[in-house]
Amino acid sequence: MTGGLQDAQSRREAVLALARRYDFEEGHSLQDERLALRLYDETARLALHDMAQEAPATDASPRDVLSYAALLHDIGYRVGYEEHHKHAFSMIMAEPVPGFTPRTQALVAHVARYHRGGTPDPGRHGAFAALTPEDQQTVARLGALLRFADGLDRSHTHAVEDLRCELDGGSLIVTLLPGQGDETERWAGQKKARWFEAQYGVEVILR
């Protein structure tokens, strides 16, 4: 195993330890992680983003940031459901996470924070405004992916086993597999894809 892979695995283990400290819903969070990474990989394959090539070599990759944020996005439930996304942000930022640079920690916290609720607004969200323009863009693109993925496990039943994406003009056709018993996920996924559509310049069609 290369050093980079070891670092990523060590960071993921630290993230899981933090999440378990707050009794996170492990099954749902792992499902959101899996679906978010599938969306990341599929949209990269279709050249809807090029985040991997844009990332500084000294920090966690955007894909890893998305992974960690997906695992931690619901830890705010420990405080309460209302505004749990904001609580998650505060909890992630509360103390150093082993293996995280300050930048990685801030990116993970912001992506988790925007998995629901409003979208980033530099005029009202001071912590977001303090990020560099490049990191603001990364947060928006990754946050939109996580929000979309979260909708695809709305019932917390793992109804969506896999997904495939294809471009058809200005539409992104997202095929959910196996394609049955997932009515709640289709409704919530379409709703939570709106920010994704704005960020990636496509219309999402779920099949």
What tens digit of pLDDT does each residue of 172-197 get? Answer: 999 999 988 999 999 999 999 999 99
pLDDT of residue 126 exceeding 90, the answer is: no
User: Do the domain assignments include residue 144?
Assistant: yes
Q: How many domains does the chain have?
A: 1
User: Do the domain assignments include residue 205?
Assistant: no
Give the span between the Cα atoms of 166 and 183, in whole angstroms.
21
% pLDDT > 90, the chain:
81
pLDDT of residue 125 exceeding 70, the answer is: yes
User: Do the domain assignments include residue 169?
Assistant: no
Whole-number pLDDT of residue 5: 67
User: Do the domain assignments include residue 68?
Assistant: yes
CB contact set of 82 (below 8 Å; sequence gap of 6+)? none
User: Do the domain assignments include residue 175?
Assistant: no
pLDDT of residue 106 exceeding 70, the answer is: yes
User: Do the domain assignments include residue 187?
Assistant: no
Work out whether strand 203-206 and strand 162-168 pair parallel, antiparallel, or are unpaired. unpaired
Q: Are 128 and 106 in contact (CB under 8 A)?
A: no
pLDDT of residue 134 exceeding 50, the answer is: yes
Q: Output the domain CATH number for residue 30.
A: 1.10.3210.10
End-to-end CA distance of the chain: 38
Q: What is the mean pLDDT of the chain?
A: 93
User: Do the domain assignments include residue 30?
Assistant: yes
pTM comes to 0.94
Range of the domain at 23: 3-154
pLDDT of residue 1 exceeding 50, the answer is: no
pLDDT in tens, 27-79: 999 999 999 999 999 999 999 999 987 656 568 999 999 999 999 999 998 88
Q: How many residues does the chain have?
A: 207
Three-state DSSP class for 73? coil
Is residue 178 reached through a cis peptide bond, with omega within 30 degrees of 0 on the bond before it?
yes
CB burial of residue 145 (10 Å; 0-12, 13-18, 19+): buried
